[in-house]
Amino acid sequence: MSTALIGFAFVLALVFLRIPIAFAMGIVGVVGFAAIENWNWTAVLSPAAGNLLDTAQTESLTVIPLFVLMGMLVSKAGLANELYRASYSFIGHRRGGLAMATIVACGGFSAICGSSLATAATMSKVAMPQMRKFGYSDSLATASIASGGTLGILIPPSVILIIYGIMTEQSIGKLFLAGILPGLIGILFYLGAVQWTVFRKPNSGPAGERSSWSDRLDAVKDVWGIVLLFVIVLGGIYAGVYTVTEAAGIGAAGALGIALLKRSMSWHAFFDALLTTIRTTAMLFTVLIGAQIFQVFIVRTGMPDDLVVFVTQFGVEPMLVIFLILLVYIALGCVFESLSMMLLTVPVFAPVVASLGFFPEYAGQVGTELSLIWFGIVVVVVTEISLITPPVGLNVFVLRGVLGDVSTGTIFRGVTPFWIFDIFRLALLVLFPWIVLIVPWTMQG
């Protein structure tokens, strides 16, 4: 285990030296494996090259660029504006209503985007001008966008859930299903955070204009494309009509078809969506390859097995183990972005969680599957929290880049009630695992 801990220390050191996490994990994985194999570089480089080729040729990974492309097409087509308008027409007239409409629109946009950063960046351009128009404080306005954006990695289709499913060999379809209720609870809790903020500071979120019922109906009609895309993609997965990979292809084609029907995308925007998809996919694949090389090294050191033996031998309470794992995630979230944190820790923690016997009524493979599906959602919720907590808070820095006239401190002060509400949601999901599991096991058995 000491060898593995030294490896983690070197990864952290390289990251602090501004080496990209993909290369940091790859370098430590190769050098660490070589040290274990008495510097037999042939025995080390051959598996590393095999990991690179296997990742590039893995059929299940084709779902990533397709879902990324779907999100980019939706973003470039301006469908986020229609979502925000529909949300605003129903709740914008309430105190804090524009912030709540932003969160609801973020939830809807997440259902067809799958990226927190893209959701936050897109909604900042849509919602921020309206909130400033009605005199919202910058702290509440930016906090609602940054927090609502975190839903992009939980509400399906989620790229980070796809990667978790591949790493732990779990059903991506069931992970998508498991993310539904926690995602909806997240929206409700964020709405509660808005209400708490405006209760304490009424002037931070004045009421907007009330929309007539005819305006509301017109707004609802405008979001038909998003609703249709959501039903086709996720409904087909849930009904077992097609696989996740097929759904991703249908979703990308559907997003393009809707954009063409609405005539809301230029050729320039289309090619920009393609280029962004290529860059994002290349980045994700590079990080995944580095993580897999590092995972081989960690497994070779025996650290996952040692942790399992420790937990089972000393009879540590399963909930205490989960609590300690969550403390590690919260601490790492202060210095790591979400994907890197997950790739670095899941190979170590997943075998431990699978061995805890959280579902004793389900023995063998079924119990393991239940544990890993539930743990995957818990991990994503923890990484959501890391997206809005200092000092990293990636969503905060995305907004800081888009809105150059708002300070980072202002945004961090605004998101404080939101991540506190997120802690309560995390506790709810940990203490009551069937909130996560009831949808996938009801719909797919």
Give the Cα separation of 348 and 299 in Å (integer): 8
pTM of the model: 0.83
- pLDDT over 80 at 118, yes or no: no
The whole-number pLDDT of residue 152 equals 79
Give the Cα separation of 158 and 143 in Å (integer): 22
Q: What does pLDDT average to over the chain?
A: 81
pLDDT-above-90 percentage for the chain:
11
Mean pLDDT calculated for residue range 249-262: 83
- pLDDT over 60 at 444, yes or no: no
The answer to whether residues 386 and 378 touch, using CB atoms and an 8 Å cutoff, is no
Cβ atoms < 10 Å from Cβ of 243: 15
The whole-number pLDDT of residue 307 equals 73
The whole-number pLDDT of residue 340 equals 75
pLDDT band at residue 55 using 50, 70 and 90 as cut-offs = low
Q: Which of 61-75, 159-173, 295-309, 370-384 has the highest mean pLDDT?
A: 370-384
The whole-number pLDDT of residue 52 equals 67
Least-confidence region, from 47-56, 138-147, 412-421:
47-56
Give the tens place of pLDDT for each residue, 280-322: 888 778 877 777 777 777 777 777 767 777 766 666 778 888 8
Give the Cα separation of 348 and 335 in Å (integer): 19
Torsion angle in degrees (nearest 10) through CA of 147, 152, 154, 159: -140
Sort residue 364 into left (φ over 0), alpha (ψ -120 to 50) or beta: left
CA 157 from chain centre, in angstroms, equals 9
Give the tens place of pLDDT for each residue, 323-375: 888 888 887 776 676 777 788 888 888 888 888 877 767 766 777 888 899 99
Give alpha helix (H) positions in 223-314. 224-239, 244-262, 267-301, 303-313
Give the Cα separation of 71 and 84 in Å (integer): 16
The whole-number pLDDT of residue 125 equals 79
- pLDDT over 90 at 2, yes or no: no
Give the Cα separation of 241 and 249 in Å (integer): 14
The whole-number pLDDT of residue 335 equals 67
The token duo for 162 is 């796809």
Write out 48-104 in H/E/C secondary structure.
Answer: HHHHHHHHHHCHHHHHHHHHHHHHHHHHHCCHHHHHHHHHHHHHCCCCCHHHHHHHH
Distances (CA, A) of 261 to 78, 234, 242, 255, 258: 13, 21, 25, 10, 5
Domain spans, the chain: 2-443
Distances (CA, A) of 382 to 13, 151, 249, 334, 417: 23, 12, 29, 11, 16
The answer to whether residues 378 and 430 touch, using CB atoms and an 8 Å cutoff, is yes
The whole-number pLDDT of residue 213 equals 82
Give the tens place of pLDDT for each residue, 214-247: 888 887 777 777 778 778 887 787 777 777 888 8
- pLDDT over 90 at 21, yes or no: no
